[in-house]
Structure 1
Amino acid sequence: MVQQVASFAAGEWIAPGSGARPIYSAISGKVIAEAGGGALDFAQMLDFGKSTGGPALRAMGFHERAAMLKALALYLQERREALYDISYDTGATLGDHKFDIDGGIGTLFVFSSKGRREMPDGQIYLDGGLERFGRAGSFMGQHVAVPLQGIAVHINAFNFPLWGMLEKLAPTLLAGVPAIVKPATATSYVTELAVRMILESGILPDGALQFIAGGTGDLLDRLGGQDVVSFTGSAETGNSLRARPNLLENAVRFVAEQDSLNASILGPDVAPGSPAFDIFIKEAHREMTVKAGQKCTAIRRIFAPEAHLPAVIEALSARLAATPVGDPRDKATRMGALVSAGQKADVLAKAAIIGEEAERVFGDPDDFALAGNVSRDAFLPPMLFHCADPDAASKVHATEAFGPVSTVMPYRDLDHAIALANRGGGSLVASIVTESGEVARHAVLNAGPSHGRLYFNNPASAPEATGHGAPMPHMIHGGPGRAGGGEELGGVRGVLHYMQRVAVQGSPDLLTAIGKRWVPGAAEVTGPAHPFTRHYDDLAIGETLHTASREITLDDIEHFARFTGDTFYAHMDEAAAAANPFFPGRVAHGYLLLSFAAGLFVQPDPGPVLANTGLDNLRFMKPVVPGEHLSVRLTVKEKTRRTDSYGEVRWHVTLYNQDDEVVAEYELLTMNAYR
């Protein structure tokens, strides 16, 4: 049967129409599905997303949305075998499926964790610290971020039908913005199955996710300043979309991840036969063969010192020769097909352009072994080219064959290698295999401006290294120039692409109410009992305890020094301490002050405070000398739910001397039980 890939618009599945396009199996060459041509009301889709999905998502806090992403990841994880099975017709092997499907699910998990650990348990994100505009602190500023009230349109490429969708969807939903997903038609049947799973789970609110199988019609011409377009694909298509008058006139955010002539450099300190050399060859081989080279992060240009170039060609060719190409359903296969015969034709055309400046040293597209009962229409062998004069060449630095094609080139020294890598005009990633810190630092300074990610590997990092071609959700995925100039992923950075940064100015009381984080100078609340006896639920932001005072004696200082072994001269030698411009003479240890502060504010009985988990932002402002007195102000600064049984309380702790001068300040973290 030919699968009918439907769209999901305004809460309904809509079958393909009369203008549907056929989709071919990369293995057999036969038509397996049809997509597109359905009558979609794009105005209705936008309204449904903005009026139904948007408010439902924004009503949730970051932690609720993070929990939603985790539930979604677990739901898909339980059903991934079905996604594996349907993906074989894309030409991908089981290992390729795992890269795509498991990688996408893993991205949901990462953003869920980031949301819970790095974002507040609320609806407003505080971006950076407070800004004081006067001495008294009665008028202050705070950058915040709030969800856009529009919709995100995600236009994805064919090579990662699941990961490509989920890498955009995770930060979008965490931000509180609904999405319309439009995958490439060639592999849309895989994405459609995943979307059906997501919708059937009931985890997302209505309107949070819609799906287009086919063209976008006039959708982009209907977007406004609250909307976002996130695009992955060719530079030609990306530039065409970016230049649409409506997007320019309305300043619609446009995030692009485009063509990329990624490079890999064998460091000048690495010799053939060494473990680092073997890592370099392994990385190059993997990036040429995983997904049959159809990765935006694949290595297209390989640079090696002139003296080592023959060894690189020999070692890489030997590894490529040992890579079985054939039916991706066969466990022995290590490289499957390109996504379609059309993609194969495009790769061959681009390889011919590269061949005008380089010699093919491995892989004959007209004569290669192919295992299994398959059509040859979409299969190619890995092809390695050698460009002997990369300085005179131009096409190898400007032509991306989006398949198992890479070109080896020599370099004279590190600066030459970096200059050649930068000639790609901006890439998503460049990798350097080196054990030299100086090589790495020089590369960051000089290659950094031209590449979105610099990946260094050597025997020390190899056991945990994630791979040249594996963007991690924790870090940005994007690149300058030809690569599109955008950023995806990047943890919370990626979430902020779907939010508006706002500069908020006002009194400490108003800023406290806005951010649900106590600001110094805001009103203090007196609780009915010692705050350490009160459960997480009962503590109010701003609830404050003022302690009694304690005198700091010379005996205290000397006892602390003997007990801890901290006999630094500022605490033990009056003349030496007085000669120091920071001290008037012998002073109390900073950590003695912290210990005494705890003794002043701690309630010792068992209660809701389960653990002290650390302190942040410790500063010592003024030395304390023997005979001075210490008192403490303890204020509930912020509360964050962590588990089903306890939450984190962040306390603002200020230490004063007898003249009410601040001598130290920090933030204390405790885990408090719920009522």
Structure 2
Amino acid sequence: MPERIYIDGGWTASASPETIEVVNPATEQVIDTVPAGAKSDVDIAVAAARRAFDGWAATPVEKRCGYVAAIAAGLSERSEEIARTITADVGTPAKIAELVQAALPVTVARSFSDGAAMAAALADTEVGNSLVVREPVGVVGAITPWNYPLHQIVAKVAPALVAGCTVVLKPSEVAPLSAYLFAEIVHDAGLPAGVFNLVSGTGPVVGEAIAEHPDVDMVSFTGSGRAGSRVSAVAAATVKRVALELGGKSPNVILPDADLAAAVKAGLGNAYLNGGQTCTALTRMLVHRGRRDEAVELLTAGLARFTVGDPAEPATRIGPLVSAAQRDRVRGYIEKGLAEGATLVAGGSLPPEGFDTGFYVRPTVFADVTPDMTIAREEIFGPVLSVLTYDTEDEAVAIANDTSYGLAAAVWSADTAHATAVARRIRAGQVEVNGGVFNPLAPFGGYKQSGNGRELGSFGLEEFCEVKAIQR
């Protein structure tokens, strides 16, 4: 399918003769190829976005929202195809692909399609003798990851378009196919030429060309901390705005009075969502020392629900990891946990029985993990859950905050007010209390090395605006 790149309102050949193979992680078979991309492709795409910027920025907000509404409708109409594509591309189990990978982008796009609400969010305000106006930041380079490939595209592109920015997108080369479906939907929505552009390729070539380009005014990046640091360094030469959504090592603090069965069940589901390939995964479960054995028993029993299998099968809860490299990385962390003295409750580094083909990892639980162990400190990005114990609430909070990350967390208690008070003490961008559900209108982003800036809702819209004060 994707043999070209999308620039200036149409499909065109890449300047690079090289291609990237797209591999189905369940079968290890090549299912498609995409252009490897070249720096000159980025130059042409950025030039198109720059030409389109003035006209798009001058388009009324309500009309820009109308285009986003059309994109949302296109995403909804093609949701089954999108889900199937992401299952084949990423390995996400079919049911999760349908409920999350395909449905969430529709919700997010629709949240930015209300013309009246967006106009109000971007409206001028009076501060003393100043008129404060919000203007689009300019040409945005969006660099997106493979784990939630379409959601991360929509979370960047939709608010950027509403703010009046034009966009050059580089999707992950590991799972690029849904980005091509998105480009088709954008084309069908009739956006003016150059407002949205797609250049596939690798980070060192296409990603860096976007980050360093003098005519790109902002880079919005989601991915690993290492790659995010590199994007920041490259972008610094032109002092452009950089928004980063990076990794996490999120704590799940279960206080002594909590409903332990409910907390463990929800925590296990969160940690293993998308095979653990989720930046907000609650991979550190903190339980009171007196309830350690009960928690381990509940986890052992709960693992029976997490069927490993073909991601295309409806009963599958855990499919393969996205690539051989990711599988090997996760297995390496499991071996490290064993070497450092953690207790293996279930799983391990051997392939699941019957899965010699495909990038599968056993759903794994470690107990007796200490805060200094590698598996408690580094993001694993696989189905690996660590159980840590504490004696006092202050110790639990200290362990929760003893990380270089700060993306997400959870707190469980029979007293919601008490849980909320503990949540305030945790240094993370979003904290669930007693299983509070994800809110696509709330700000999403992290503290510390989990990045900077916020996505989603009015907070995400603000990221793509410059603020000007006109004194009168």
Tell me the TM-score normalized by structure 1: 0.65
Identify the residue that residue 364 of structure 1 maps to in structure 2. 348
Mapped pair 1:496 → 2:462: yes
Q: Which amino acid aligns with 2:211?
A: L
Q: Secondary structure at the match of 2:444?
A: strand
Instruction: Mark the CA change 1:170 to 1:357 in structure 2 (over 3 Å): closer, same or farther.
Output: farther
Structure-2 change in CA distance of 1:269 and 1:7 (3 Å): same
Is the 8 Å Cα contact of residues 265 and 303 (structure 1) preserved in structure 2?
Answer: yes
- Hey, what does 1:315 align to over in structure 2? 298
Write out aligned runs for 1:106-505 (5 A).
106-113=107-114, 115-117=115-117, 119-120=119-120, 125-127=123-125, 130-132=126-128, 140-148=129-137, 150-199=138-187, 201-215=188-202, 216=206, 218-224=209-215, 227-244=217-234, 247-270=235-258, 276-355=259-338, 356-366=340-350, 368-370=352-354, 376-390=357-371, 393-437=372-416, 439-447=418-426, 450-457=427-434, 465-466=436-437, 470=438, 472-489=439-456, 491-505=457-471
What amino acid maps onto 1:103 in structure 2? L
SS in 2 for 1:112: coil
State the match for 1:653 in structure 2: none
SS of the residue corresponding to residue 378 of structure 2 reads coil
Hey, what's the Cα distance between the residues in 2 that align with 1:483 and 1:23?
A: 28
What SS class does the counterpart of residue 243 from structure 1 fall into? helix
Task: Describe the SS at the equivalent of 2:148.
Answer: coil
Matches of 1:42 and 1:387, distance apart in 2 = 49
Give unmatched runs, 5+ long, in structure 1.
133-139, 271-275, 507-675
2:33 match:
34
In 1, Cα distance between equivalents of 2:43 and 2:105: 30
- Given that residues 362 and 382 in structure 1 are in contact (C-alpha distance below 8 angstroms), is that contact kept between their aligned partners in structure 2? yes
Provide the rounded CA distance (Å) in 2 between the counterparts of 1:375 and 1:167: 36
Retained in 2: the 8 A contact 1:7–1:213? yes
Q: Does structure 1 conserve the Cα–Cα contact (< 8 Å) formed by 2:140 and 2:218?
A: yes
Relative distance call for 1:426 and 1:219 in structure 2 (3 A) is closer
Output the amino acid matched with 1:310: D
If each structure's helix is expressed as a fraction of its own residues, which one has the higher value? 2
Shift of 1:41: 3.1
Q: How far apart are the structure 2 equivalents of 1:5 and 1:454?
A: 42
- Equivalents in 2 of 1:388, 1:50: separation in Å? 52
| Superposed CA offset, 1:613-652 (max 9, x none) | xxxxxxxxxxxxxxxxxxxxxxxxxxxxxxxxxxxxxxxx
Secondary structure (helix, strand or coil) at the match of 1:29 reads coil
Distance 1:229 1:290 in 2: 28
Q: Deviations over 1:205-241 (max 9, x none)?
A: 22111111113153322235x7110111110111011
SS at match of 2:470: strand
AA aligned opposite 2:428:
H
**Is the aligned partner of 1:13 residue 2:4?**
no
Structure 1 distance, partners of 2:350, 2:42, is 46
**Secondary structure in 2 matching 1:125:** coil
- 1:412-455 CA-partner distances (Å, limit 9, x unpaired): 111111110111223211001113255334324421xx200111
2:9 and 2:196 in contact (8 A); partners too: no
Q: Deviations over 1:473-525 (max 9, x none)?
A: 21111111120133212x1221111111111211xxxxxxxxxxxxxxxxxxx
Q: Structure 1 vs Structure 2: percent identity of aligned residues?
A: 25
TM-superposed deviation, 1:58: 1.4
Give the Cα–Cα distance (whole angstroms) in 2 for the partners of residues 38 and 119 of structure 1: 37
Could you report, residue by residue, the CA deviation over 1:532-566 in whole angstroms, capped at 9, with x for unpaired residues?
xxxxxxxxxxxxxxxxxxxxxxxxxxxxxxxxxxx
Deviations 1:345-384 (A, max 9, x none): 11112233333242221113326345xxx65330112111
- The secondary structure found in structure 1 opposite 2:274 is helix
* Aligned-residue offset at 1:87: 2.1
Structure 1 residue 193: Cα displacement: 1.9
Relative to 1, partners in 2 of residues 1:241 and 1:131: Cα closer, same or farther, differing over 3 Å? Answer: closer
Say which SS state the counterpart of residue 385 (structure 2) adopts.
strand
The 1-side partners of 2:341 and 2:164 are apart by: 50
Query: In structure 2, what is the Cα distance between the partners aligned to 1:11 and 1:70?
Result: 18
CA contact (8 A) 1:5 1:213 kept: no
Deviation at 1:9, TM superposition (A): 2.3
Kindly indicate whether the alpha-carbon contact (under 8 Å) linking 2:251 and 2:409 is maintained by their aligned counterparts in 1: yes
* Counterpart AA for 1:211: L
Residue in 2 aligned with 1:73?
Answer: 72
Letter in 2 for 1:475: A
Which stretch of the first structure deviates more once superposed, 423-432 or 3-12? 3-12
> AA paired with 2:199?
I
Change (3 A) 1:163 1:223: same
Shift of 1:290: 1.9
Change in CA separation of 1:410 and 1:68 when aligned onto 2, cut-off 3 Å: same
Give the Cα–Cα distance (whole angstroms) in 1 for the partners of residues 281 and 310 of structure 2.
22
1:62–1:264 CA distance, 2 compared to 1 (3 A): same
Deviations 1:109-164 (A, max 9, x none): 11223x5225339xx6325xx333xxxxxxx123221112x211111111011111
Q: Distance in 2 between matches of 1:493 and 1:77?
A: 24
* 8 Å CA contact retained: 2:83, 2:101: no
Residue 104 of structure 1 aligns with which residue?
Answer: 105
**Structure 1 position 243, deviation (Å):** 0.9
Task: For 2:309, give the aligned amino acid.
Answer: G
Alignment of 1:581-600 (within 5 A): none
Equivalent pair of 2:8/2:195 in contact (CA under 8 Å): no
TM-score by length of 2: 0.92
Q: Give the Cα–Cα distance (whole angstroms) in 1 for the partners of residues 341 and 112 of structure 2.
A: 44
The higher radius of gyration belongs to 1
1:446, 1:413 → 2: CA distance? 14
Residue identity matched to 2:71 = L
Distance in 2, matches of 1:26 and 1:384, equals 23
Two-structure CA RMSD over aligned residues (Å)? 2.1
Q: Bigger CA drift: 78-87 or 290-299?
A: 78-87
Cα contact 2:75–2:105 (8 A) shared by 1? no
Question: 2-side partners of 1:184 and 1:277: how far apart?
Answer: 38
- Closer, same or farther in 2 for the Cα pair 1:389/1:159, shift >3 Å? closer
State the SS of the aligned residue for 2:131: strand
Shift of 1:42: 2.3
